[in-house]
């Protein structure tokens, strides 16, 4: 895990990043700015249990591409999840909390992931581990309202005007952050490569 100092506010941005693209950078930039983060851990996962590994590029390649595209020095590209021997977010977050008691973490996710969030293993436990910042993505602005996560934790929603204080909230707490949106997606980029 990247080095942190006591009291820091750190965003956790996990994904396959297969491949990473400017849309990911935009989400990271918005999170850094709006949440007032000291660091953002760009967590390249060994693989998503809900996605096929058939087209998954090697982890070392995805790490190298992520490092090349993440320009802000506050972004720390890491793949420590590989050393944990599993790829379930709930367990990863438990380990992060165990090893970093004095750090204020926020889980960061694109709004497009909110639709399927309730299919993640122990999704309610994830929501109760760290506050969550959901960053707007094309086509997901309205659908997030009907997501199971948004309905289940409606009482814990924080107005985005107070996003900078989210890291100090006790989970469950979440906010939806509007802002510039990139139409890029890793799936579409892979399809374009395969069609060439």
Q: What is the pLDDT along the chain (196 residues), one digit of tens a residue?
A: 999 999 999 999 999 999 999 989 999 999 999 999 999 999 999 876 656 667 899 999 999 999 999 989 999 999 998 888 766 899 999 999 999 999 999 999 988 888 889 999 999 999 999 999 999 877 655 666 778 999 999 999 999 999 999 999 999 999 999 876 555 454 544 444 444 4
109: DSSP letter = E
Closest by Cα among 116, 28, 33, 34 to 66: 28
Residues with Cβ within 8 Å of 35's Cβ and at least 6 positions away in sequence, in order, are 9, 11, 106, 108, 133, 163, 164, 166, 167
What token pair was written down for 106?
A: 């926020």
What separation, in Å, do the N-terminal and C-terminal C-alpha atoms of the chain show? 38
Percent of the chain as helix, strand, coil, to the nearest 5: 45, 15, 40
- For residue 106, how many other CB atoms are within 10 A of its CB? 27
């Amino acid at each position: 895990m990247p080095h942190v100092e006591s009291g820091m506010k750190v965003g956790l941005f996990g994904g396959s990043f297969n491949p990473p693209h400017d849309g990911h950078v935009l989400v990271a930039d918005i999170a850094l700015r709006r949440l007032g983060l000291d660091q953002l851990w760009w967590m390249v996962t060994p693989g998503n249990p809900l996605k096929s590994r058939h087209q998954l590029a090697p982890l070392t390649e995805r790490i190298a591409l992520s490092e090349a595209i993440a320009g802000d020095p506050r972004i720390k590209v890491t793949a420590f999840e590989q050393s944990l021997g599993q790829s379930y977010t709930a367990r990863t977050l438990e380990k992060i909390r165990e090893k970093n008691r004095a750090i204020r973490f926020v889980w960061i996710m694109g709004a497009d992931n909110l639709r399927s969030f309730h299919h993640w293993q122990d999704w309610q436990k994830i929501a109760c581990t760290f506050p969550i910042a959901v960053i707007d993505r094309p086509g997901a602005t309205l659908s997030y309202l009907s997501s199971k996560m948004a309905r289940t934790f409606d009482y814990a929603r924080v107005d985005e005007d107070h996003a900078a204080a989210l890291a100090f909230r006790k989970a469950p707490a979440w906010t939806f952050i509007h802002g510039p949106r990139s139409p890029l997606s890793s799936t579409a980029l892979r399809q374009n490569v395969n069609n060439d």
